[in-house]
A and B are shown apart, each in its own frame.
Chain A
């Protein structure tokens, strides 16, 4: 049905976004297109919808049955976009009109695409809601009255309004919590069967897509490195690394990171784009671009495809037994929380962000706090930093009772804590150099100036950064490097506790395990206590000694990773573990 042949897209600035991409989608087939930031996967979707920025050029062929999709003028898409190809946008909040009822938006879409009269269009709108498993009364509400998952369902209903042959969904589940993500993916699989609609699902989350897709295609640096049946094991080292970079719920399955960064495409020569980061790379890989060749039922662009060879990527350091043993039971914990709770009050309502949390973090220990957005896990970080005074309970950090301290004394406690925020882009002042950024806690704490250079280089070293970066500014660094600068900055003041609030969630999958490894080395090497706040249960399992599961502010389970996975408490923990298991895909690929 959809055939893409040798599609090469060049942006107006001369940047080649994709190179010689070949894909097909049959009616009723789900093709998952996966890849990291900048791999060119969204560019493919834009090309299919005629949404490339003006001035871009596309060579090659993209056909939907008899219809040519390349070389159309911007006005020439009526009857195609929305009618024959439906679109599910990224982030359904922005895709819906906030001031109009769901029914109005659905009816409008139906009428635009089918030119139906109002009454039949209204009937069709209700029919669409039924198809996406939403109750009929959803039609009467406004988008803000719906949950994220419900909004995404409405967006899918809108995409189906024109009765399309092909549905293009760009990151359809990003930003939703795990349970909802699975529901949305189930819905898409169900629609594929009931409506016989072909689907192109684009996501950075390869394992999740493998669960519902028929075939999987993986892009790297603008080229298609592998496409093949979802049920079969992968052959390209990048695909296999991407799958292994997803933290498994089984602590014995290694969590892999891919060293290095995506090459700058303008400088890449004739070789394989992945060669610089590939553990299997031979000389031919650097010199000769691998052409797609059939391997079993897949097509792989690699000189040495293999589904069983050892990957030999660096794996995350797992919690060593010695780390647990070396905790001195007599020693005072770095963090001691007793019955900590916080209630946000506004004029109209009280929101319980945290309730009755007891927690201890010892030196050399990584404690994971797992929960979805709104579970109170970031509130906990703010309380530990003394930025938020809890409404109830006792907070003892680094031997000081935070609830009693104010002003200068409270700030003094912060000098002994390190904080790494989620967003490595906003948290670093854009005009400051790396050396300046890392020295900031020292300036704030009033450390004598002659001690700075030694402290800076030690912090950079511990965060896994080369010291020759000191003169660079944040915009010259990759996302992973920026986050390491943030970690180095947190370490500069020689803290006793590091609070990492979703420190990996904005990074590419391939760099996450590397950051986690760094945290593990810090815990083992210098006895740092780490509070690792995350929404990803797998990351917590792989990286932490202890896990606290938070749900709507309430600690619903505490224990070692093995306990939480093996014997989750009934209710939310059980749902979370089940959803995470499903999300991890049908089978973990053997990665040696």
Chain B
């Protein structure tokens, strides 16, 4: 089996497992992660697989419930960013040169913005709800992909079969739907995957800095509380901070593997080089 294909399969299996865990997991738990069930800082046991936090709340339950927050924001941001990128990049690829020029300078501007500081400011001023955080992250990550998609549209436009259809009197819509979008659509997959990866890491960073939503648990929030409540000074970090950290690493790795696999399929020159 080719390396790309294998990577893709592993990534897809991991992602599916994580998604199933996030959706179904909370129903299988006996606690909602907010009840005080054990001694503060209790180490892992047969009942409490990851022990308890400073208030005696079950950490395993928090990890499972937190998956919903982290994966949810990844999905939301990836959807939003891909949509914006497709619209902006696609229109810029079709627009007359002067209009495309203006749009692409705006893209350049967004790309040049200092990412994290802006994100922190926005999160601090606009509040920490899920929608706001997703909107802020999406507003920052769409620019690079938009450029990519515009390039794809321009490349599709110069294809012989599209020009031939144009000579047959095809309308812009016909060209877009039948000739351009089959060329451009596959580009959206890596765009989506990359946006999801960025979103997870950024959201965790925000949460770690205390700019997350304390009422909706996520992996980033767990690491934040572990750090604030002194878990890092004792052995407790092993079952409090490390598991959500590993979960983030695992998700990002799985997404990266899927990304590699799609890129491998889309780019024949890469395939030959291997």
| A427-B160 in contact given A411-B171, A444-B174 (Cβ < 8 Å) | yes
Q: Does B121 contact A (CB under 8 A)?
A: no
Q: Does A313 contact B (CB under 8 A)?
A: no
Q: Does B163 contact A (CB under 8 A)?
A: yes
Q: Does A88 contact B (CB under 8 A)?
A: no
Chain B residue at minimal CB-CB distance from A474: B161
Q: Within the assembled complex, what's the spacing in Å between the Cα atoms of A197 and B159?
A: 44
Chain A residue at minimal CB-CB distance from B174: A444
Contact check, A429 vs B161: say whether CB atoms are below 8 A apart.
yes
Q: Does A415 contact B (CB under 8 A)?
A: yes
Q: Looking at B160, B163, B164, which has the most chain A CB atoms within 10 Å of its CB?
A: B164
Q: Does B179 contact A (CB under 8 A)?
A: yes
Q: Within the assembled complex, what's the spacing in Å between the Cα atoms of A387 and B164?
A: 11
Q: Does B96 contact A (CB under 8 A)?
A: no
Contact check, A444 vs B160: say whether CB atoms are below 8 A apart.
no
Q: Does B166 contact A (CB under 8 A)?
A: yes
For chain B, residues 165 to 180, give those with C-beta under 8 angstroms from any C-beta of chain A: 165-171, 174, 179
Contact check, B160 vs A440: say whether CB atoms are below 8 A apart.
no
Contact check, A426 vs B169: say whether CB atoms are below 8 A apart.
no
Q: Looking at B159, B170, B174, B182, which has the most chain A CB atoms within 10 Å of its CB?
A: B170
| A429-B170 in contact given A419-B164, A421-B164 (Cβ < 8 Å) | no
For chain B, residues 149 to 169, give those with C-beta under 8 angstroms from any C-beta of chain A: 159-161, 163-169
Residues of B within 8 A of A410 (CB): 169
Contact check, A415 vs B164: say whether CB atoms are below 8 A apart.
no
Residues of A within 8 A of B179 (CB): 429
Partner of A441, one of B159, B160, B163, B168: B168
Q: Does A413 contact B (CB under 8 A)?
A: yes
Contact check, B160 vs A412: say whether CB atoms are below 8 A apart.
no
Q: Within the assembled complex, what's the spacing in Å between the Cα atoms of A414 and B182?
A: 24
Chain B residue at minimal CB-CB distance from A441: B168
Partner of A414, one of B160, B161, B163, B169: B169
Q: Within the assembled complex, what's the spacing in Å between the Cα atoms of A426 and B157?
A: 12
Partner of B168, one of A408, A426, A428, A440: A440
Residues of B within 8 A of A387 (CB): 166-167
Contact check, B170 vs A444: say whether CB atoms are below 8 A apart.
yes
Q: Within the assembled complex, what's the spacing in Å between the Cα atoms of A440 and B167?
A: 11
Contact check, A427 vs B164: say whether CB atoms are below 8 A apart.
yes
Residues of A within 8 A of B166 (CB): 387
Contact check, B169 vs A444: say whether CB atoms are below 8 A apart.
yes
Contact check, A413 vs B169: say whether CB atoms are below 8 A apart.
yes
Q: Within the assembled complex, what's the spacing in Å between the Cα atoms of A180 and B161?
A: 32
Contact check, B168 vs A414: say whether CB atoms are below 8 A apart.
yes
Q: Within the assembled complex, what's the spacing in Å between the Cα atoms of A412 and B163?
A: 16
For chain B, residues 202 to 241, give those with C-beta under 8 angstroms from any C-beta of chain A: none
Q: Within the assembled complex, what's the spacing in Å between the Cα atoms of A141 and B72?
A: 60
Contact check, B167 vs A419: say whether CB atoms are below 8 A apart.
yes
| A415-B165 in contact given A421-B160, A427-B160, A444-B174 (Cβ < 8 Å) | no
Q: Within the assembled complex, what's the spacing in Å between the Cα atoms of A398 and B182?
A: 34
Chain B residue at minimal CB-CB distance from A445: B169
Q: Does A49 contact B (CB under 8 A)?
A: no
Q: Encode B179-192 as 1/0 by CB contact (under 8 A) with A.
A: 10010000000000
Contact check, B163 vs A444: say whether CB atoms are below 8 A apart.
no
Q: Does A6 contact B (CB under 8 A)?
A: no
Q: Within the assembled complex, what's the spacing in Å between the Cα atoms of A408 and B169?
A: 9
Q: Determine how close the nearest CB of chain A comes to the CB of B253; give it in whole angstroms.
A: 34
Chain B residue at minimal CB-CB distance from A408: B171
Q: Does A423 contact B (CB under 8 A)?
A: yes
Q: Does A319 contact B (CB under 8 A)?
A: no
Contact check, A493 vs B168: say whether CB atoms are below 8 A apart.
yes
Residues of A within 8 A of B168 (CB): 414-415, 419, 440-441, 444-445, 489, 493
Chain A residue at minimal CB-CB distance from B158: A426
Residues of A within 8 A of B160 (CB): 421, 423, 425-428
Q: Determine how close the nearest CB of chain A comes to the CB of B84; give it in whole angstroms.
A: 29
Q: Determine how close the nearest CB of chain B comes to the CB of A78; give it in whole angstroms.
A: 28
Q: Determine how close the nearest CB of chain A comes to the CB of B116; give it in whole angstroms.
A: 39
Contact check, A428 vs B167: say whether CB atoms are below 8 A apart.
no
Contact check, A426 vs B161: say whether CB atoms are below 8 A apart.
yes
Residues of B within 8 A of A219 (CB): none
Q: Determine how close the nearest CB of chain B comes to the CB of A410; give it in whole angstroms.
A: 8
Contact check, B165 vs A385: say whether CB atoms are below 8 A apart.
no
For chain B, residues 43 to 71, give those with C-beta under 8 angstroms from any C-beta of chain A: none
Q: Encode B7-30 as 1/0 by CB contact (under 8 A) with A.
A: 000000000000000000000000
Residues of B within 8 A of A428 (CB): 160-161, 164
Please name 8 pairs of A and B residues whose Cβ atoms are closer than 8 Å in the assembled complex, sorted by A: A411-B170, A412-B169, A415-B169, A417-B169, A426-B159, A430-B161, A431-B182, A445-B169
B-to-A contact residues, CB < 8 Å: 159-161, 163-171, 174, 179, 182
Known: A413-B169, A421-B163. 14 other contacts (CB 8 A): A408-B171, A411-B169, A414-B168, A419-B164, A421-B167, A427-B163, A428-B160, A428-B161, A429-B161, A440-B165, A444-B169, A445-B169, A489-B164, A493-B168
